[in-house]
Amino acid sequence: MIVKCELCGGENRVHPGQKMLKCSYCGSALLVNDSNYPEHLILPHKRNDKAVEDILRSFLLKHNMGRPRKLEIKFCFVPYTMIEDENGKSSGYPARGAPPSASPIPDPPAGDYCYFEKALADGEKIIQPKELDPETSRIIHLPLYDISFRLGKKEWKAAIIGESWQIQMDRMPPEQSTPLDLPMILTAGGLFAAYFVIGKLGHNWLARFIILLATSAMGFLAFKIREKMVTQDEQ
């Protein structure tokens, strides 16, 4: 937001929340006009679908919900109307037109907010607010990843707010029991047996080292092949 000095005509940039400032040209005190409120802010963010995939996978695996498949990601800047209660605490609610996965936020996520300018959206889609609540004290455009994915035979939805990486889900997938990975167990058993007999196969320390190195390489190769197969099954 730019405030023009009435004395010298200099243009001064105002930061969010700033009510007064000193003109950087002539030093005069300037008052930010409250008639432009509610403030309209945006949280700039560079889209990163790969980071979102990693965050969602880690979250689901951490809670034993399984590995997500067939991820589809949409991105846009969603307006939230901030409303203050009698104690001055602000809560945010998605404005009309926001994706269904957008949920209310008890507190605005931290970040370097700027006064709203379309250029700060870096060419990404912007949803404009409509029919604001008369008690709205501030409008903030948040970068939101709208995600759909499969777990088992069901479709699920999630939303992740950029910069803060907060995950929002109306319905949480159920926890899954972790089945025994028989191929990995057999591989581990085979490596243990190989290490056990290394001492008898090698005639000296150099021969034992070579056998140990070859066995470790085979184990690592088996693990990478298994990991690749699991990844292909998820896609």
Helix then strand then coil, in percent of the chain rounded to 5, is: 30, 30, 40
| Secondary structure (3-state) at 104 | coil
Q: Cis peptide before 106, with omega less than 30 degrees from 0?
A: no
Q: What is the pTM of this model?
A: 0.65
The pLDDT tens digits for 164-200 are: 999 988 888 888 765 555 666 666 666 666 666 655 6
- CA–CA gap between residue 152 and residue 68 (Å, rounded): 8
In angstroms, the CA 188 to CA 201 distance is 20
Domain boundaries, the chain: 2-36, 41-168, 182-234
Is the pLDDT higher at 188 or at 6? Answer: 6
pLDDT per residue over 122-131, tens digit each? 999 999 887 7
What local confidence, expressed as pLDDT, does residue 23 receive? Answer: 83
The 10s digit of each residue's pLDDT in 141-158 is 999 999 999 988 899 999
Identify how many contiguous H helices and E strands the chain contains and give both numbers. Answer: 3, 11
- Non-local CB neighbours of 157 within 8 Å, separated by 6+ positions: 100, 101, 146, 147, 148, 169, 170, 171
How much is the pLDDT for 12? Answer: 73
Residues 6 or more apart whose CB falls under 8 angstroms from that of 225 comprise: none
